[in-house]
A = this chain, B = another copy of it.
Amino acid sequence: MNKVTIVGSGNWGSVAAKLIASNAIKLSNFHDEVRMWVFEETLPSGEKLTDVINKTNENVKYLPGVKLGKNVVADPNLERAVKDANMLVFVSPHQFMEGICKRLVGKIRTDAEGISLVKGMEVKKEGPCLISTLISNQLRINCSVLMGANIANEIAMENFSEATVGYRQNKEAAEKWVQLFNTPYFNVTSVEDVEGVEMCGTLKNIVAVAAGFIDGLEMGNNTKAAIMRIGLKEMIAFSKLLFPSVKDSTFFESCGIADLITTCMGGRNRKVAEAYAKNRGKRSFDELEAEMLKGQKLQGVLTVKEVYEVLTARGWVEMFPLITAVYKISSGLLPPSAIVEFSSNSHNRIQSRL
Cβ of A344 < 8 Å from any Cβ of B? Answer: yes
A343 within 8 A of B: yes
In terms of DSSP, what is the predominant structure of the interface of chain A? Answer: helix
Cβ 8 A contact of A225, one of B221, B224, B262, B343: B262
Within 8 A of B (CB), among A209-249: 219-230, 232-233, 236, 248-249
Q: Is the CB of B262 within 8 A of A222?
A: yes
Contact B344 A222 (CB under 8 A): no
A185 near B344 with CB under 8 A, answer: yes
Q: Which residues of B are found within 8 Å of A62, using beta-carbon distances?
A: none
Contacting residues, chain B, for A222 (C-beta < 8 A) = 149-151, 154-155, 159-161, 262
From A264, which residue of chain B is reached at the shortest CB distance? B261
> When the two chains form the complex, which single residue of B220, B229, B344 contacts A257, counting CB atoms closer than 8 Å?
B229
Closest CB-CB distance, A309 to chain B, in whole Å?
27
Whether A252 sits at the interface, judged by CB under 8 Å, is yes
A154-B220, A248-B248 known; 13 new pairs, CB 8 Å cut-off, are A149-B221, A151-B220, A154-B223, A159-B219, A160-B222, A161-B225, A187-B343, A187-B348, A224-B265, A228-B257, A232-B252, A233-B252, A265-B265
> What residues make up the interface of A, taking CB atoms closer than 8 Å to B?
149-151, 154-155, 159-162, 184-185, 187, 189, 219-230, 232-233, 236, 248-249, 251-254, 257-259, 261-262, 265-266, 340, 343-344, 347-348, 351
